[in-house]
Structure 1
Amino acid sequence: MTIAVYPSVDTDWAQWHTRHSARLRNPQHRPGPIARHSLGEAPEQFPGVPGTWWVVESRVFIAAKPGDRLDHDGARIAGIEILDPVDGAPGIILRHDNRALEILRKEGQTSIRVYAPAD
């Protein structure tokens, strides 16, 4: 019996994990999520999360006003933003004030993870 060893898989995963953790952490954030909300096809609002959220054909729709202070890639969302999270891939990070919102898709289910600022 031959056992194949793929050291690059472990290295790749460790590098991904380091990058993913760094995206969510900064001096104002804790590493663990404080809330998780599942998204469905009907537009919905969630406690403590700005905007209205829904999913159509695996794409996430977010309706927000500038006053909601919801940012994606450094730009304020003003209107409808459409995101396309990839199943099983690292989540898409949005910012609300000093919190991180991670939009992710896993096994066909789309959700928002909310990360709170440090005390």
Structure 2
Amino acid sequence: MTIVGHTSVDTTWTQWLERCSIRLRSPHNTSDPIARHRLGEAPEQLPGLPGTWWVIDGRVFIAAKPGDRLDHAGERIAGIEIIDPIDGAPGLILRQDDRALEVVRRGDLIAVNVYGPAD
């Protein structure tokens, strides 16, 4: 019997598992968000979060100043940052002080889950 591996499936699984492992090792309580905000097409300020957030064609736009202390991929956002969450994939993580902001996409719903430090 011959078993054929599917490299793309194996790679996707490995990447997913690594992202989940990193999230589980993080100092944030990733099981229960302390807040959840649904994003819409109109630019809006989300309660308790810095910057202005909106969605166009499934892409998330975030306008922030350096003083907002909002980081994505290790870089401080200064202007407009555009991120592209993938439906069903683990969320994209932004940092703001000691909080993690997870941008997730589930079908047409795009939301920001806010996680605080674990107690």
Moved over 6 A (4+): 12-15
C-alpha distance 24-102 of structure 1, shift in aligned 2 (>3 A): farther
TM value normalised by structure 1: 0.80
Identity of aligned residues (%): 69
**Equivalent residue runs for 1:1-119 within 5 Å:** 16=16, 19-20=19-20, 22-23=22-23, 25-27=25-27, 29-31=28-30, 32-119=32-119
What is the CA deviation profile of residues 96-117 of structure 1, one whole-angstrom value per residue up to 9, with x for unaligned ones?
A: 0111000011011100000011
C-alpha distance 111-24 of structure 1, shift in aligned 2 (>3 A): farther
- Give the alignment's Cα RMSD to 1 decimal: 2.1
In structure 2, runs of 5+ residues without a counterpart are 1-8
Greater per-residue strand proportion: 1
TM value normalised by structure 2: 0.80
1:118, distance to aligned residue in structure 2 (A): 2.9
The range that moved more, 103-112 or 17-26, is 17-26
